[in-house]
């Protein structure tokens, strides 16, 4: 009952009409076709909730090179479906390409002044994207839950002032509608990594999605959650490691950097690292940021606050704009070792 699990791989140079004919043949069987154009070949992922797909039905269609059964549960996110790296465009900034991307900003949007101050510091130091929470998932119902739409408007103003595209979290269908409207990329947080309704909705959004790994998610579960988004048609997905929960008690979470090469091997999606949530401690953000770039991440997600000790949330893990500028300097020296630039 695990549904269809085949990829139809087209010949190099197959005509667009041939691709369309395969798509039509798939749909005629009540299945869903996902054409995944690559630089060398096009593949068509076939998905559907019920019944097995018979490979033979597609093998003899014109332009088809082969029909392969996918060995992993995930398909569209896999290297088998698409060999070359996916580059996601967030408001004009390319994530996953040769240039590393640094997303920075306050944990929570608190006011226009605070957000502008941080955004300008981020911009000046060479950050590429602005982050900041308007909707905050909080363990306690009595904690500050974010400014909501007012926060989104503040982020939009900060973008206007600084030119930095905005990434911000959506926590439910309602906030996702608004985030899609105001922001340049939609973040799905760790606690919602297996909120499948939210993933499906994100899969129908017209904006890229930044998906954070759940606190105790295996690699397969992480990729399967991305697969939920792609399976609805949104292929603009960026993954993000933010630490997993272990017995280890000296940091808030245990940053699992080995997941970066593991993802790169199995999937074509870009992956960032969040050293702020990953460690929960200001003084560890810098060394772990260096490590994240050295391990091969496509960039970072860092909490920056102009007055961390008075931040409304996650102050202890935020760094100042000055520390951020100095961090960027170090990262720009490590990037070339991996043949990249910052």
Residues 266-295 binding a copy of itself (CB under 8 A) are: 278-279, 283-284, 287-288, 290-295
Map residues 68-97 to x or -, x wherever contact with a copy of itself holds by CB under 8 A.
-----xx-----------------------
**What is the spatial order of strands in the sheet that 64-69 belongs to?**
32-37, 42-47, 6-10, 64-69
Least separation in angstroms between CB 11 and a copy of itself: 26
Least separation in angstroms between CB 336 and a copy of itself: 8
Q: What are 156's two structure tokens?
A: 């939009």
Q: Three-class SS of residue 278?
A: helix
Q: Which residue's CB is nearer to a copy of itself, number 42 or number 253?
A: 253
Q: Which residue's CB is nearer to a copy of itself, number 69 or number 245?
A: 245
Among 42, 47, 114, 267, binds a copy of itself (CB under 8 A): 47
- Contact segment (CB under 8 A) with a copy of itself among 2-10, 12-20, 21-29, 125-133 equals 2-10
Q: Which residue's CB is nearer to a copy of itself, number 92 or number 141?
A: 141
State which of positions 297-336 bind a copy of itself (CB under 8 A): 312-313, 330, 333-334, 336
Under 8 Å CB-to-CB from 250, ≥6 apart: which residues? none
Strand 101-105 relative to strand 166-169: parallel, antiparallel, unpaired? Answer: unpaired
DSSP 192: G
| Closest among 108, 83, 283 to 187, alpha carbons compared | 108
Residue 247 binding a copy of itself, by CB under 8 A: yes
Q: Which residue's CB is nearer to a copy of itself, number 123 or number 286?
A: 286
State which of positions 199-228 bind a copy of itself (CB under 8 A): 200, 215-216, 218-221, 224, 227-228
**Rounded (10°) angle between helices 219-231 and 259-266:** 50
Counted residue by residue, the chain has a size of 342
State which of positions 111-140 bind a copy of itself (CB under 8 A): 137-140
| Closest among 300, 304, 293 to 335, alpha carbons compared | 293
Determine the Cα–Cα distance for residues 158 and 130; give it in Å rounded to an integer. 9
Half-sphere exposure (Cβ direction) of 248: Cα atoms closer than 13 Å: 14
Map residues 153-192 to x or -, x wherever contact with a copy of itself holds by CB under 8 A.
------------------xxxx----------------xx
Residue 11 binding a copy of itself, by CB under 8 A: no
DSSP 79: T
């Amino acid at each position: 009952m695990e549904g269809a699990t085949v990829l139809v791989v087209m010949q190099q140079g197959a005509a667009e009409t041939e691709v369309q004919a395969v798509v039509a043949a798939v749909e005629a069987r009540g299945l869903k076709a996902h054409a995944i154009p690559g630089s060398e070949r096009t593949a068509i992922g076939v998905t559907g909730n019920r019944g097995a797909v018979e490979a033979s039905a597609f093998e003899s269609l014109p332009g088809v090179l082969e029909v392969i059964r996918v060995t992993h549960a995930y398909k569209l996110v896999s290297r088998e479906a698409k060999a070359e790296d996916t580059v996601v465009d967030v408001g004009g900034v390319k994530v996953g390409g040769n240039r590393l991307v640094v997303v920075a900003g306050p944990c929570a949007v608190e006011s226009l002044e605070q957000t502008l101050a941080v955004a300008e510091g981020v911009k000046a130091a060479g950050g590429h994207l602005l982050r900041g929470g308007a909707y905050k998932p909080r363990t306690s119902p009595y904690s500050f839950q974010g400014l909501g739409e007012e926060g989104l408007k503040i982020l939009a103003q900060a973008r206007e002032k600084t030119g930095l595209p905005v990434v911000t979290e959506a926590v439910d269908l309602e906030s996702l509608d608004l985030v899609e409207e105001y922001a340049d990329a939609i973040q799905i947080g760790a606690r919602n990594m297996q909120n499948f309704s939210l993933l499906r909705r994100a899969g129908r959004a017209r904006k890229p999605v930044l998906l954070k790994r759940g606190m105790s998610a295996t690699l397969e579960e992480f990729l399967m959650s991305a697969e939920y988004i792609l399976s609805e048609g949104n292929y603009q997905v960026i993954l993000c490691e933010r630490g997993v929960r272990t017995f280890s008690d000296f940091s808030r979470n245990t940053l699992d950097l080995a997941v970066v090469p593991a993802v790169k091997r199995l999937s074509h999606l870009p992956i960032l690292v969040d050293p702020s949530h990953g460690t929960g401690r200001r003084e560890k953000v810098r060394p772990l940021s260096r490590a994240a770039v050295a391990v091969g991440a496509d960039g970072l997600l860092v909490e920056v606050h102009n007055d961390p000790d008075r931040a409304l949330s996650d102050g202890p893990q935020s760094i100042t704009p000055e520390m951020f500028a100095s961090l960027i300097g170090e990262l720009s020296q490590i990037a070339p070792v991996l043949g990249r630039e910052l």
